[in-house]
Amino acid sequence: MKLLILNGPNLNFLGIREPDIYGTQTLADIENHIQQYADERGHSCEFFQSNSEGTLVDRLQQAHLDKVDGIIFNPAAYTHYSYAIHDAVKAIAVPTVEVHLSAIHARESFRKESVVAPACIGQISGFGATGYTLGIHALEEHQRRLT
């Protein structure tokens, strides 16, 4: 599978930002782990991170044009209010798994609702960086059910 691993705002500050919540791994550490996991399973990965909502929408649309097979997406704070990202995920019709490092349903009340999740095939939260590899597994299972 051709995968896009997409990360939203402030995830470029992993390892610095609230390590008690988000851990001490950097985004590069997580990407290296994902790449190794994907390589072992015969998948190719492209990684992209932006702090800008419009740039993330543009990258989602490009994923459709690039014929990406699946997306693992941590929309970060945009999870809770970006209908533009929801609409982009829905419009491209590329199977997308929403991933969060922290257990968003066990945190502040504003973090408990995702406006992006209804456009995705599933959501994984609370498993730290392992959530990304769980997302790849979910996409594999989704693809198996379709064939």
* 51-100: pLDDT as tens digits: 999 999 999 999 999 999 999 999 999 999 999 999 999 999 999 999 99
Among 84, 82, 54, 59, residue whose Cα is nearest residue 71 = 59
Question: Which CATH fold would you assign to the domain 2-146?
Answer: Rossmann fold (3.40.50)
Question: What pLDDT, on the 0 to 100 scale, is given for residue 23?
Answer: 79
Residue 30 has pLDDT above 70, yes or no: yes
62-66, 100-104, 121-125: least confidently modelled range: 100-104
Contact in structure between 120 and 99 (CB atoms under 8 Å): no
Q: Residue 10: is its pLDDT beyond 70?
A: yes
Q: Which of 78, 100, 105, 132 is catalytic?
A: 100
- 10 Å CB burial of residue 93 (0-12, 13-18, 19+) is exposed
Taking 90 as the threshold, does the pLDDT of residue 102 lie above it?
Answer: no
Using CA atoms, how far residue 2 sits from 16, 122, 137, 143, in Å, is 30, 18, 13, 12
- pLDDT, position 112: 66
Tell me which of 113 and 107 has the higher pLDDT.
Answer: 113
Tokens of 65: 């044009």
Q: What angle do CA 17, 110, 72 make, to 5 degrees?
A: 60
Predicted confidence band of residue 24 (pLDDT cuts 50, 70, 90): confident
d(CA 58, CA 44): 21
- Reply yes or no on whether the pLDDT at 145 is more than 80: yes
Residue 40, both tokens: 């072992």
Annotation says 37 is catalytic: no
Distance CA 78, CA 48 (A): 15
Contact of 5 with 45, CB cutoff 8 Å: yes
How far is C-alpha 53 from the geometric centre of its chain's CA atoms?
Answer: 14
pLDDT score, position 113: 82
Of 22, 78, 86, 132, the active-site residue reads 22
| Catalytic residue check, 100 | yes
- Hey, where are the domains in the chain? 2-146
